[in-house]
Structure 1
């Protein structure tokens, strides 16, 4: 095993996702699956691990989403925080805490940072010219300004970044800027903010990034930092760092501490408050568990690792480390293994263009295939360069690798063990050489195979420690392939008739491989790992150093699954995926993108939405059968274990009726109390999730699936008939 330094503990973070939309595959491939595998592996190695994350709930993106949907920012973040948290849980990303930046402890923590830096005199108070929307009467945050990119000519660049060429920009660099609020040309006005003097920190940042040295002491191995991470940071440093504003003129965010003169109406810049969300999440976790949060942030025995996408490199490698060092006492990241971007079906993934695969939709539509997605994303993880996800590649990886290799090996081992030994791990002569049945001209020794397994497991662990997850996954599949070769070379299904003793050795060896796989799969395919351990009747993994124990057993020549152990019945780990599934998903992706494109075009030229397909024609008599009436919502609550359903009580003007409505993902129950609605009063009652629904509320739905109440207005009494 390589001589590798092992710290006392690890603090692992993943970039806080914006709570203004659902998770997509690019998110998983960028910052979360790599961190999850790393954390799971280190837990299996018996390390003190804290893996923190949470929703980033402030910033211009949240406010923009709220304006688009005509709701409050808190409504947006409440909705998407829960959806994102649930998606992570369902796909198997195992945080120690998933927090949120709207929590009181976060405001307290981030304001405390700002206050301390202010008292130390570390900020520069500068008055500058910034864009102001005269019609809306507000200063415009970077994301509220669009224009032509001066670097590549892309006409829809934002005031902080061009999403076409990836260049970081300032709003005043844009050509022909316009406000996204009113589509008018903004004017420049003077405003005062507090700036972090990055230019004064340039020297130590250069030495730390490039050589891993801080104040004469080695902090990290620069060879383990990815080239594109170091390259992007050095590009910024070589151009000369500039003071960076740490506050904004916004109506949604963490307030600048009110005791600071001039703080009224000022909010913390998102890249001042968001990374501090890692600290506030740690504090909340410690509070919940009676632990000491400071040892994870201030003890030099802790290794801090930020898992992010490449668009967050500068903030995690320059700005946040500068804030931490200026504040004092805090450790700096040991590594920032940023991944590059994931493309989708030959195109750049774009939520604005509808070219995305949403995680919650995948989980809803393809149940039981969580690990298929994880496998494909690890296999194609954009560790050093942009990678691509295709539905055809997803199908082929499942059918050719998971089914034919891993699934086939496990199934054959379990089936044969049950067939020959009633599911009991056979004992064998350890000195027996088994030579195969004609498919191999090389003798195979049980001990040799186990030593080979140890070496492969050692390579697997070293790959993860170097953040080479694709390599570690390949090693898993190589171990499975080696198991298949052992079986194929010896053909126990033939050899059983002439050499039972050799078959016992072959099957015992194969079961040892299966037991090893059941553990090392956990960081990558946790659902499969759990299923396999149940098949082998091995104890569930707790992440308490089990891999260390297994490696120790292998080193001592001990069995991973003992002779005489009873395993369970065979169950297929994976199922083949047909072409029709791929065709359906590709068509859905293309249809959504086409619909989005049409909608965007119409929104530019016309005030209306695109027309939706009409249902078959009906007669007036058909319409007359409907009894449409006005009602008022007086109570509403969520239905347990039904993500889309609300239980609603209606005042119908003469009685109280209960209806069940599938609007829970777009409306919070407390937000619709008092809403006037139109409902079908003569719809036959039926039970939905155990609740008797006595009618149906009418909703308007646009081409993007957005719902709105069909409301007659508050001046119409409940019980009134709609004709």
Structure 2
């Protein structure tokens, strides 16, 4: 496909019924922002739309909990969520609202077109009705006893104690949450989208057209739905909160939220166009527009089956890609605000992004870590220790360390100005670094264009790592000690620091989609403007003019103290305990489950040699990665231990391994191994071991490395 004329990028509309957590951020909004920032650097015509989803039962349910109105709830949470996104650098062109008049008008028009064209059908069904409240009951307005665990406070759609998905008909002794009375069944008529009519189109469009270029998890989920047989889906509900159905006699009925919410992308585009004197129609009706939806995996069916069917019937373009992410877990367990096991964006901002705590740099710290563990192909796990380690060993020790050294040495050895580059003295190391800069540009382009943001960010840090090695090998500070006797050495110093400074400018361009706040600080230090961040400039060695005075270096990132991480872990467990106590109070006083980190009985020992059966989710908690052994040495006074330095791609770790009785140190240097990287560190003979090497033991007791069949880049995941 040729380069599109324009891009329309959407991120899933979050419900305005409460705070959103970092799992939401990692799933849809951060990857979308990275992609959009890259497109803007490419000078492409791109519009990035999102907004609050303000209809559906989730809103009035929250209003009941807070003792207020649905309107008050959306007016409370919409600006908070909008500001949270801004504080974390999510750069929407518009963050809209589905309660806005332009959205109501757009959604009603959409329904009206489909209804008049015969693309919808009506059906009469029986649903629960509260005779005292004189209203039909949505699933969440019905409570009863869970048939699975006996929880007397289960909702009509899910039991929040055991997590089982339910329907109101499955509840034992159901009652209305509005009156407390048992509901009755009553006939009601609704409009349906007959998805079964569109199976052939969807199968061809998804499986044949996009089966190769969409993520396997997306295609797989869609195939499962289609193979199971698509059924008509209701597009209206009996509810007093939402967009009124534009049909005479449809009193008390509103558009179902799943139907109205994605139309919010269109109404947001319309509002953006009005605000900026643009025409919205080409972004939704011109085949030269590339539409991309960024979502979490729980929204795949809506964005890949239901909404595309709606768009096709309405005459709009279809999405080119729907790069859905898997889920982000937290400290080994599923993230859930209702269970208290989550980190809200608002809490992170309050704890970390105040000016005295690091400001935008700490927003970038979260962006960096979430991207480095992005659940692009499988669920991943956020841990506070992992956050601290990635921040310290990669952002601080690699990226920021190089930038700081380049500026400090430039001021110390080159008078604070960009030195000249002496072409007659260029050597192989210089040439290699220049090639690395150009190659990095191509690698990042390829990765981002294919929605592999984790890989793209790795290339940014890897270039900084190579730059650190280049500077270390050149040792300009050592050369400076001999300048009095050999003034000609200044030219070698000039060449080294000239390239380091030009590479720093390139790092700013490459890092901008990922670390926008940090890059602004770098621009300030370099005394250049945002125009330099154009992708056309990437790979250039003329970004900073010779003789140009640069500002003194500023630390890009502060140190994260162990006490700060300990406080966050304690806060997390306190929230969990509070939420569990509240749940127990509404569930008949059942004792709350143990915290994720406390579930296992550490004193328990297996009674047999065979280990207990585990579930896939238990295995998925392991972060297995390939590594290359850089060095090995025996540990003093420990016959069985070797101290290894292992390259994991984004970092080098010290690992103490009990293999000294099987291998000599010089035998294993360069060996590729599989490392458990998220194992808690422990001290062995006074050395902190930061992982574990996987080994196999044969019948004789000999240990053998578990390694890739062919050489692979360090840091590659093992699954």
TM-score range, shorter chain: 0.7 to 0.9
Structure 2 CA distance for partners of 1:510 and 1:157, relative to 1, 3 Å: farther
For the pair 1:519 / 2:516, whether they are aligned, the reply is no
> Which residue of structure 1 aligns with residue 454 of structure 2?
470
> Which residue of structure 2 aligns with residue 321 of structure 1?
308
> Which residue of structure 2 aligns with residue 538 of structure 1?
528
Structure 2 CA distance for partners of 1:548 and 1:164, relative to 1, 3 Å: farther
- Show CA shifts across 1:26-47 (max 9, x none): 1101110000000000000111
* CA–CA separation in structure 2 for the residues paired with 1:343 and 1:183: 36
1:198-597 aligned within 5 A: 198-212=195-209, 221-257=210-246, 260-328=247-315, 330-367=316-353, 368=359, 369-434=362-427, 443-444=428-429, 446-498=430-482, 499-541=489-531, 546-551=534-539, 554=540, 558-597=541-580
Superposition deviation, residue 177 in structure 1: 5.2
Cα pair 2:6 2:289 within 8 Å, conserved: yes
> Which residue of structure 1 aligns with residue 637 of structure 2?
none
1:46 equivalent among 39, 43, 58: 43
Superposition deviation, residue 305 in structure 1: 0.4
Superposition deviation, residue 566 in structure 1: 1.7
Helix, strand or coil for the counterpart of 2:530? Answer: coil
Superposition deviation, residue 486 in structure 1: 0.7
Structure 2 CA distance for partners of 1:223 and 1:183, relative to 1, 3 Å: farther
Helix, strand or coil for the counterpart of 1:274? Answer: helix
* CA–CA separation in structure 2 for the residues paired with 1:147 and 1:226: 39
1:656-671 aligned within 5 A: none
Superposition deviation, residue 154 in structure 1: 9.3
Alignment TM-score, normalising by the size of structure 2: 0.77
* CA–CA separation in structure 1 for the residues paired with 2:300 and 2:409: 51
> Which residue of structure 2 aligns with residue 705 of structure 1?
none
* CA–CA separation in structure 2 for the residues paired with 1:176 and 1:480: 63
- Show CA shifts across 1:524-556 (max 9, x none): 11000111111111212587xx112334xx3xx
> Which residue of structure 2 aligns with residue 602 of structure 1?
585
Structure 2 CA distance for partners of 1:119 and 1:378, relative to 1, 3 Å: same
* CA–CA separation in structure 1 for the residues paired with 2:164 and 2:290: 31
Superposition deviation, residue 412 in structure 1: 0.2
Structure 1 gaps of 5+ residues are 213-220, 435-442, 607-723
Superposition deviation, residue 142 in structure 1: 3.0
Large movers: runs of 4+ above 6 Å:
147-157, 161-169
Superposition deviation, residue 563 in structure 1: 1.6
* CA–CA separation in structure 1 for the residues paired with 2:378 and 2:65: 34
* CA–CA separation in structure 2 for the residues paired with 1:240 and 1:146: 30
* CA–CA separation in structure 2 for the residues paired with 1:417 and 1:500: 12
Cα pair 2:152 2:587 within 8 Å, conserved: no
> Which residue of structure 1 aligns with residue 120 of structure 2?
123
Superposition deviation, residue 282 in structure 1: 0.3
Structure 2 CA distance for partners of 1:237 and 1:175, relative to 1, 3 Å: farther
Single out whichever of 516-525 and 241-250 deviates more from structure 2. Answer: 516-525
* CA–CA separation in structure 2 for the residues paired with 1:590 and 1:572: 33
Superposition deviation, residue 395 in structure 1: 1.1
* CA–CA separation in structure 1 for the residues paired with 2:188 and 2:515: 52
Superposition deviation, residue 238 in structure 1: 0.7
Structure 2 CA distance for partners of 1:429 and 1:395, relative to 1, 3 Å: same
Superposition deviation, residue 205 in structure 1: 0.5
Superposition deviation, residue 228 in structure 1: 1.1
Structure 2 CA distance for partners of 1:165 and 1:469, relative to 1, 3 Å: farther
* CA–CA separation in structure 2 for the residues paired with 1:155 and 1:494: 74
Superposition deviation, residue 162 in structure 1: 7.4
- Show CA shifts across 1:539-585 (max 9, x none): 12587xx112334xx3xxx5222222221101000111111101111
* CA–CA separation in structure 2 for the residues paired with 1:164 and 1:427: 68
Structure 2 CA distance for partners of 1:366 and 1:206, relative to 1, 3 Å: same
* CA–CA separation in structure 1 for the residues paired with 2:480 and 2:236: 75
Superposition deviation, residue 263 in structure 1: 1.1
* CA–CA separation in structure 2 for the residues paired with 1:161 and 1:292: 43
* CA–CA separation in structure 2 for the residues paired with 1:232 and 1:162: 24
Helix, strand or coil for the counterpart of 2:498? Answer: helix
- Show CA shifts across 1:242-274 (max 9, x none): 0000000001001011xx233111000001110
Structure 2 CA distance for partners of 1:148 and 1:28, relative to 1, 3 Å: farther
Cα pair 2:153 2:587 within 8 Å, conserved: no
Root-mean-square deviation (CA, aligned residues, Å) is 2.3
Superposition deviation, residue 306 in structure 1: 0.4
* CA–CA separation in structure 1 for the residues paired with 2:442 and 2:188: 58
1:5-20 aligned within 5 A: 5-20=2-17
Helix, strand or coil for the counterpart of 2:423? Answer: coil
Superposition deviation, residue 163 in structure 1: 7.4
Superposition deviation, residue 223 in structure 1: 2.0
* CA–CA separation in structure 2 for the residues paired with 1:501 and 1:164: 70
> Which residue of structure 1 aligns with residue 52 of structure 2?
55
Superposition deviation, residue 462 in structure 1: 1.0
* CA–CA separation in structure 2 for the residues paired with 1:7 and 1:152: 53
Superposition deviation, residue 309 in structure 1: 0.7
* CA–CA separation in structure 2 for the residues paired with 1:43 and 1:155: 53
* CA–CA separation in structure 1 for the residues paired with 2:465 and 2:508: 15
Structure 2 CA distance for partners of 1:174 and 1:542, relative to 1, 3 Å: farther
Alignment TM-score, normalising by the size of structure 1: 0.76
Helix, strand or coil for the counterpart of 1:130? Answer: strand
- Show CA shifts across 1:121-140 (max 9, x none): 11111001112234543212
Helix, strand or coil for the counterpart of 1:37? Answer: helix
Cα pair 2:161 2:583 within 8 Å, conserved: no
- Show CA shifts across 1:155-180 (max 9, x none): 97755567799987654466765545
> Which residue of structure 1 aligns with residue 25 of structure 2?
28
Helix, strand or coil for the counterpart of 2:325? Answer: coil
* CA–CA separation in structure 2 for the residues paired with 1:29 and 1:380: 9
> Which residue of structure 1 aligns with residue 193 of structure 2?
196
Superposition deviation, residue 313 in structure 1: 0.7
1:622-633 aligned within 5 A: none
Helix, strand or coil for the counterpart of 1:275? Answer: helix
- Show CA shifts across 1:643-685 (max 9, x none): xxxxxxxxxxxxxxxxxxxxxxxxxxxxxxxxxxxxxxxxxxx
